[in-house]
């Protein structure tokens, strides 16, 4: 655990007692703070009490008298669409609001670092899609190369639950827009921006607010090196803002699908090959086409981001390539579950928005596509360029019929349940087909999370594979 620094003797309230909130409460207590906790959920309050944190009702009048800081879990809205009532009360009482990411960055360094020949480094990864895979891939490459590394944030452990970093260690953090938007301190050594597509628009007051939340990691974080995906206008804008000249290699530009040129530091993937250019010369090239854990152009973009981070940390191209080849992928993200009679079954339940689903559809041919769920804002137009890869769609969700109507001329079955969708898709699939779960929707109409949805898909696929 990383004790929070600079809070000794202060009274600090924690709102939300899930993984990050309860860990923050423990880290604050370890730092000498008097900690008040609250969660609207009674079960969460009971768990906190077992850990020695009796609940204090932060919804009561004058609850913030004498409170120095409110620490908020990332799922709780602080501004849009409307502030949570506890956060609104804290702001009315002029109490600052922070989250565990802000506490982490103000507490991560310690006097022991002055004795290190190679101090620890913090790498942060944000963007709309690919954050988890990029973060996990960086961590895998580093550990595969024998470098000490820890993985946390929006993936794995809570940031304050990390072990105190040792000399030369790399902390890899996946950060969502919810986390970067509110953190009062952001000081990464290396920061990655994968891409941007519409998501969480209600939470950020529109696309501009969503981008602004991610931009904070760079504009206010001031990383020593910024790795920026430039396949969207926002990425090109951000890279331009952070560069002082075209040859400024503190910014590494990343692309998947287009060749980049110029005097700066460039890493791009095109036709299955990753290429690194620096100062107008090619430095290295890696064939990604047969790397099982990184299928499709979207994963090639993730590979480019991870490659750029590891090169910034001093790893050689061949060492990084070895890491690529041994990377097994993450559950629910282009995860190959198995193959039977020439038919592959792929779980991409994490494709919860149109852009992510489009990238999944672009990674395969002859797709038996399982899709549907709780549709997000923006419609399905972004899927149209990839629908040529779909042989047939099998629609799930409570509003399956309505979703199916939006798929146009694509052949489709309204299955409603995962069990029915997998059974029909498997029965109709031919050798060379891919049965792909890439919902393009949130899961909450039928499941508690995209993980639960993916687990259900895997369970139904297991029945087919074992039949």
Annotated binding site for ATP: 127-133
Cα-Cα-Cα-Cα dihedral sign, residues 463, 361, 392, 408 = positive
Please report, in range form, the residues annotated as the binding site.
127-133
CB 410 within 8 A of CB 234: no
DSSP 8-state secondary structure symbol assigned to residue 95: -
d(CA 10, CA 103): 14
CB 75 within 8 A of CB 178: yes
d(CA 77, CA 437): 30
d(CA 377, CA 234): 19
Say if residue 381 is exposed, middle or buried (CB neighbours under 10 Å; 0-12, 13-18, 19+): exposed
d(CA 375, CA 463): 28
Element (H, E) at 71: strand 69-72
Q: Is the peptide bond before 81 cis (omega within 30 degrees of 0)?
A: yes
Element (H, E) at 126: strand 121-126
3-state secondary structure of 252: strand
Cite the beta strand spans of 310-417 per DSSP E. Answer: 335-340, 343-347, 367-371, 390-396, 412-416
End-to-end CA distance of the chain: 46
d(CA 384, CA 378): 13
Which two structure tokens, joined as six digits, stand for 29? 């207590």
Which two structure tokens, joined as six digits, stand for 325? 């080849």
* HSE-CB of 213 using CA atoms within 13 angstroms: 29
d(CA 455, CA 119): 40
* HSE-CB of 184 using CA atoms within 13 angstroms: 12
Element (H, E) at 85: helix 85-92
Q: How many residues does the chain have?
A: 467
d(CA 362, CA 354): 12
């Amino acid at each position: 655990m990383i004790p929070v620094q600079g809070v000794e003797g202060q009274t600090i309230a924690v709102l939300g007692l899930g993984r990050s909130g309860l860990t923050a409460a423990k880290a604050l207590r370890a730092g000498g703070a008097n900690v008040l906790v609250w969660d609207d959920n009674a079960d969460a309050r009971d768990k906190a009490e077992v850990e020695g944190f009796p609940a204090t009702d932060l919804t009561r009048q004058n609850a913030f008298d004498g409170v120095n800081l409110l620490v908020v879990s990332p799922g709780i809205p602080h501004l849009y669409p409307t502030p949570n009532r506890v956060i609104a009360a804290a702001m009315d009482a002029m109490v600052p609001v922070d989250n565990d990411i802000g506490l982490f960055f103000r507490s991560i360094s310690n006097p022991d670092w002055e004795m290190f020949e190679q101090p620890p480094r913090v790498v942060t990864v944000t963007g709309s899609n690919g954050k988890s895979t990029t973060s996990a891939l960086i961590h895998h490459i580093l550990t595969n190369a024998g470098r000490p590394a820890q993985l946390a944030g929006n993936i794995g452990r809570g940031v304050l639950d990390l072990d105190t970093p040792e000399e030369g260690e790399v902390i890899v953090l996946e950060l969502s827009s919810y986390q970067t938007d509110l953190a009062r301190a952001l000081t990464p050594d290396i920061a990655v921006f994968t891409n941007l597509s519409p998501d969480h628009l209600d939470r950020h007051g529109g696309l501009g607010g969503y981008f602004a939340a991610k931009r904070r990691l760079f504009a206010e974080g001031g990383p020593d090196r910024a790795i920026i995906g430039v396949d969207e206008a926002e990425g090109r804008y951000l890279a331009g803002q952070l560069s002082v000249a075209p040859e400024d290699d503190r910014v590494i530009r990343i692309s998947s699908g287009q060749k980049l040129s110029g005097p700066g530091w460039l890493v791009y993937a095109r036709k299955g090959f990753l290429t690194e250019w620096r100062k107008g010369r090619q430095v290295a090239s890696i064939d990604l086409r047969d790397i099982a854990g990184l299928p499709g152009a979207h994963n090639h973009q993730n590979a480019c981001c991870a490659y750029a981070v590891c090169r910034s940390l001093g790893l050689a191209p061949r060492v990084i390539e070895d890491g690529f080849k041994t990377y097994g992928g993450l559950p629910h993200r282009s995860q190959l579950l198995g193959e039977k009679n020439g038919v592959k079954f792929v779980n991409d339940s994490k494709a919860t928005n149109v852009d992510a689903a489009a990238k999944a559809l672009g990674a395969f041919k002859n797709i038996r596509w399982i899709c549907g769920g709780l549709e997000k804002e923006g419609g399905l137009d972004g899927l149209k360029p990839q629908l040529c890869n779909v042989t047939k769609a099998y629609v799930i969700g409570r509003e399956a019929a309505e979703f199916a109507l939006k798929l146009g001329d694509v052949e489709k079955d309204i299955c409603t349940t995962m069990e029915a969708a997998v059974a029909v898709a498997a029965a109709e699939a031919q050798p060379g087909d891919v049965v792909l779960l890439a919902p393009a929707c949130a899961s909450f109409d039928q499941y508690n999370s995209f993980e639960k949805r993916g687990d259900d898909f895997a369970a139904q696929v297991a029945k087919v594979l074992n039949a």
